Amino acid sequence: MAAISKKHNKSPRWLLSSIISIFILFTILTFFLFHARFFSLQTPSPQSSWSLMHELQSYSIFSTTSSTMKSMVHKLRTSVTFLPLKDLRYSNAALVDHTWFMSSLYDTHQEGEVQYQKFPSESSQGRILCIKGNDTHDGSWNYYALAWPEALPYNTTFMKGLTFVSYNHYSYENLWHGLSAMLPFVAWHKMNNCSVLPSRWVLYHWGELRFNMGLWVGTMMEATFDGAQKIERFEGPESGPVCFENAVVMRHNEGGMSRERRMEAYDLMRCKARIYCNMSSLDDRGRGVPVIGMTLFLRTGPRSFKNDTAVAEIFKKECDKVEGCRFKVAHSNNLTFCEQVKLMGMTDMLISPHGAQLTNMFLMERNSSVLEFYPKGWLKLAGVGQYVYRWIASWSGMKHEGSWRDTNGEHCPYPEDDRRCMPLFKNGRIGYDEKHFAEWSRRVLADIRTRKIHQHASTINATTLPPTTTTTHCACN
Ligand SMILES: *[C@@H]1O[C@H](CO)[C@@H](O)[C@H](O)[C@H]1NC(C)=O
Ligand SMILES: *[C@@H]1O[C@H](CO)[C@@H](O)[C@H](O)[C@H]1NC(C)=O
Ligand SMILES: *[C@@H]1O[C@H](CO)[C@@H](O)[C@H](O)[C@H]1NC(C)=O
Ligand SMILES: *[C@@H]1O[C@H](CO)[C@@H](O)[C@H](O)[C@H]1NC(C)=O
Ligand SMILES: *[C@@H]1O[C@H](CO)[C@@H](O)[C@H](O)[C@H]1NC(C)=O
Ligand SMILES: *[C@@H]1O[C@H](CO)[C@@H](O)[C@H](O)[C@H]1NC(C)=O
Ligand SMILES: *[C@@H]1O[C@H](CO)[C@@H](O)[C@H](O)[C@H]1NC(C)=O
Ligand SMILES: *[C@@H]1O[C@H](CO)[C@@H](O)[C@H](O)[C@H]1NC(C)=O
């Protein structure tokens, strides 16, 4: 009995001191947790941030300061404002300046470099990019916002690593348009010494989510970024926004980049593609006579030659006259990616009608030659887009040797510069002019031979090969 009453007597003091120490402990703990969250942690996950909120809720009665903080964080979390990815106010200037895609944000642009947006960054005040955007039909129903990592919107899914967010005004399937949208990512990668690989891609077209790149474009990215690339589908069970630990947004293709920077980006892709395809070496190293590869790269259907055989005969005849010249006919419709990479690696003179297959030209060695062919009517009616292969030649360091335009073709009842004629001419086929093709070919072959003899001599003298011909490593800084 005595022992029990003794304990009873002690009890109030013990209880009081326990309560006081627990109170102090909780206050310190709450403060510590809060400060750690708010000021130091670099990469919080919303899970821990969510459970932190619960902790704060349970203990905040002990601290008015943390309750103020809590309410501030709550306010920040609920004030994240989502805007439409596609801003219809700018539909008549969709590609200009800040564009209609994420129109409230401006790109980072240093003279001659790729234009991009990076989140978090100084210009985003440390905020990261969040997206609510899986609509595949209307880009104005998809949304973006910036949020501080310490105060992400409720129910956020946090995606770790680097995310590439791409805007493409045309198509991810087409070789030319697909590659144009990818080029700035390659340039950005190179600018960062190839130090970080993307964990995923988010593809938008007019603000609408896309799930695929064309096979050729996708394989090129797989080669460039060292492995299969994940294209985000936002398919999780989560209903809230998605926020990205690191995101890079591109919406201006190669715009703003100097020729030098463009060439470097193509150089990197060429080199990476050759490694990916296990191309060991180019075929003319260390021989007596430089080899000249002449390739007739054919299409089927629209803009194909009316008579492939006749065209092939003309060019083969000229090739046969030049020592070391090797003539090849290839069909663009049934070559695998690596067959195209290898074919272009052996080509110094590419002969091909206007069309997406010409995008492959940057896979030739630098300074190689391109001869382009158009059906009737294109000069006056096809607009500026008909010159894209001149542009890519210039950007990738190739020589566009001019074009031949057929003057024969469909008869159009209107004047030939009347827009109503374009449907008739658009998918026209291409004839030939034997005399002109032969002369053209001789002139280009002579130039290539001079260049190759010169290059060949200096290659033999050089102790190391130029960077594009090494096959295990690509220059990345
Ligand atoms: C978060 O998700 C839950 C369950 O889906 C939902 O009940 C709740 O309303 C959401 N909260 C907010 C702020 O959207
Ligand atoms: C890339 O490498 C160059 C040269 O080595 C260096 O000056 C530059 O700071 C590096 N850039 C990045 C982003 O790592
Ligand atoms: C987009 O997300 C919402 C909400 O999670 C979902 O109900 C819907 O099915 C998703 N749509 C597509 C096309 O995945
Ligand atoms: C390249 O070679 C490696 C190793 O031999 C092989 O695993 C890979 O499939 C080859 N790649 C291609 C595209 O042929
Ligand atoms: C194509 O050209 C070849 C060689 O000039 C000729 O023999 C052949 O008849 C032509 N074919 C057609 C369908 O005109
Ligand atoms: C590739 O396609 C062309 C044109 O359709 C055809 O003539 C050729 O035989 C095909 N080659 C192969 C290997 O399938
Ligand atoms: C390409 O040609 C230019 C100008 O003639 C020359 O300066 C350059 O070294 C050449 N590049 C290669 C890779 O042969
Ligand atoms: C290559 O070396 C030889 C002998 O050393 C020299 O005569 C020649 O001029 C060199 N050629 C070039 C292009 O440097």
**199 Cβ neighbours under 8 A, 6+ residues apart:** 159, 160, 161, 162, 163, 230
Residues 231 and 331 in one domain: no
Q: Is residue 132 part of a domain?
A: yes
What φ, ψ does residue 430 adopt, rounded to 5°? Answer: -120, 130
* Ligand 2, atom 2, residue with closest C-alpha: 477
Residues 269 and 287 in one domain: yes
User: Which of 61, 79, 97 is the last residue in one of the domains?
Assistant: 79
Query: In angstroms, how far is CA 37 from the centroid of its own chain?
Result: 34
Confirm if 125 and 161 have CB atoms less than 8 A apart: no
Residues 158, 129: Cα–Cα separation, whole Å: 10
Residues 169 and 60 in one domain: no
Instruction: Compute, in angstroms, the gap from residue 308 CA to the centroid of ligand 5.
Output: 8
* Ligand 2, atom 11, residue with closest C-alpha: 192
Residues 363, 275: Cα–Cα separation, whole Å: 12
**Strand 399-405 relative to strand 369-374, pairing:** parallel
Paired strand residues for 372: 352, 403
Q: Is residue 69 part of a domain?
A: yes
Kindly provide the b/e burial profile for residues 42-71, where b requires at least 16 CB atoms within 10 angstroms of the residue's own CB.
eebebeebeebbeebeebbebbeebbebbe
Give me the sheet containing 325-331, strands edge to edge: 325-331, 292-298, 349-353, 369-374, 399-405
Residues 350, 327: Cα–Cα separation, whole Å: 10
Instruction: Compute, in angstroms, the gap from residue 134 CA to the centroid of ligand 3.
Output: 6
Cβ(307) – ligand 5 distance below 6 Å: yes
> Cβ < 6 Å from ligand 6: which residues?
300, 331, 333-334
Query: In angstroms, how far is CA 2 from the centroid of its own chain?
Result: 83
Residues 33, 56: Cα–Cα separation, whole Å: 9
Confirm if 241 and 130 have CB atoms less than 8 A apart: yes
Instruction: Compute, in angstroms, the gap from residue 277 CA to the centroid of ligand 4.
Output: 7
Q: Is residue 474 part of a domain?
A: no
Q: Which pLDDT does position 45 carry in this prediction?
A: 47
* Ligand 1, atom 10, residue with closest C-alpha: 155
Residues 329 and 463 in one domain: yes
Tell me the two tokens of residue 196: 């970080």
Residues 359 and 310 in one domain: yes
Task: Tell me which H or E stretch contains 204.
Answer: strand 200-205
Q: Which atom number of ligand 8 is nearest to the Cα of residue 461? A: 1
Q: Is residue 11 part of a domain?
A: no
Q: What is the CATH number of the domain that holds 341?
A: 3.40.50.360
Q: Which atom number of ligand 6 is nearest to the Cα of residue 334? A: 1
Is residue 153 reached through a cis peptide bond, with omega within 30 degrees of 0 on the bond before it?
A: no
Q: Is residue 6 part of a domain?
A: no
Q: What is the pLDDT of residues 76-130, one digit of tens each?
A: 999 999 999 999 998 898 888 889 999 999 999 899 999 999 999 999 999 999 9
Q: Which atom number of ligand 7 is nearest to the Cα of residue 455? A: 14
Ligand nearest to the CA of 297: 6
Residues 85, 134: Cα–Cα separation, whole Å: 11
Instruction: Compute, in angstroms, the gap from residue 275 CA to the centroid of ligand 4.
Output: 9
Residues 294, 403: Cα–Cα separation, whole Å: 17
Q: Which atom number of ligand 2 is nearest to the Cα of residue 192? A: 13
* Ligand 5, atom 11, residue with closest C-alpha: 307
Instruction: Compute, in angstroms, the gap from residue 238 CA to the centroid of ligand 1.
Output: 9
Residues 293 and 330 in one domain: yes
* Ligand 6, atom 8, residue with closest C-alpha: 331
User: Which of 79, 102, 124 is the last residue in one of the domains?
Assistant: 79
* Ligand 6, atom 3, residue with closest C-alpha: 331
Confirm if 378 and 372 have CB atoms less than 8 A apart: no
Q: Which pLDDT does position 356 carry in this prediction?
A: 93
Residue 151 has a CB neighbour count (10 Å cut-off) of 20
Residues 325 and 447 in one domain: yes
Helix, coil or strand: residue 285: coil
Stated pTM of the model = 0.84
What φ, ψ does residue 179 adopt, rounded to 5°? Answer: -65, -35
pLDDT values of the chain reduced to their tens digit, one per residue, 477 residues: 334 444 444 455 555 565 555 555 555 445 444 444 444 333 444 444 454 555 555 554 556 678 899 999 999 999 999 999 999 998 898 888 889 999 999 999 899 999 999 999 999 999 999 999 999 999 999 999 999 999 999 999 999 999 999 999 999 999 999 999 999 999 999 999 999 999 999 999 999 999 999 999 999 999 999 999 999 999 877 679 999 999 999 999 999 999 999 999 999 999 999 999 999 766 554 456 789 999 999 999 999 999 999 999 999 999 999 999 999 999 999 999 999 999 999 999 999 999 999 999 999 999 999 999 999 888 877 777 889 999 999 999 999 999 999 988 888 888 878 888 888 788 889 999 999 999 999 999 999 999 998 887 777 666 555 544 445 679 886
Count of the separate structural domains present in the chain? 3
Residues 188 and 304 in one domain: no
Residues 275, 265: Cα–Cα separation, whole Å: 16
Residues 117 and 224 in one domain: yes
Cα four-point dihedral sign 263, 268, 269, 275: positive
Domain span including residue 350: 261-469
Instruction: Compute, in angstroms, the gap from residue 461 CA to the centroid of ligand 8.
Output: 6
Of 403, 398, 404, residue with least CA distance to 451: 398
* Ligand 8, atom 5, residue with closest C-alpha: 461
Instruction: Compute, in angstroms, the gap from residue 276 CA to the centroid of ligand 4.
Output: 7
Q: Is residue 142 part of a domain?
A: yes
Residues 164, 170: Cα–Cα separation, whole Å: 18
Output the DSSP codes for 91-118.
GGGTTSTT-SBSTT---B--TTSPPBEE
Amino acid of residue 96:
V
Residues 111, 116: Cα–Cα separation, whole Å: 12
User: Which of 206, 235, 257 is the last residue in one of the domains?
Assistant: 257
Residues 338 and 450 in one domain: yes
Cβ(134) – ligand 3 distance below 6 Å: yes
Q: Is residue 411 part of a domain?
A: yes
Q: Is residue 267 part of a domain?
A: yes
Residue 436 has a CB neighbour count (10 Å cut-off) of 11
* Ligand 7, atom 12, residue with closest C-alpha: 366
Residues 274 and 321 in one domain: yes
Helix ranges (H only) for 397-433 are 422-426
Cβ(78) – ligand 1 distance below 6 Å: no
Residues 265 and 127 in one domain: no
Of 471, 273, 285, 255, residue with least CA distance to 364: 273
Residue 124 has a CB neighbour count (10 Å cut-off) of 17
Q: Which atom number of ligand 7 is nearest to the Cα of residue 365? A: 13
DSSP 37: I
Q: How many residues does the chain have?
A: 477
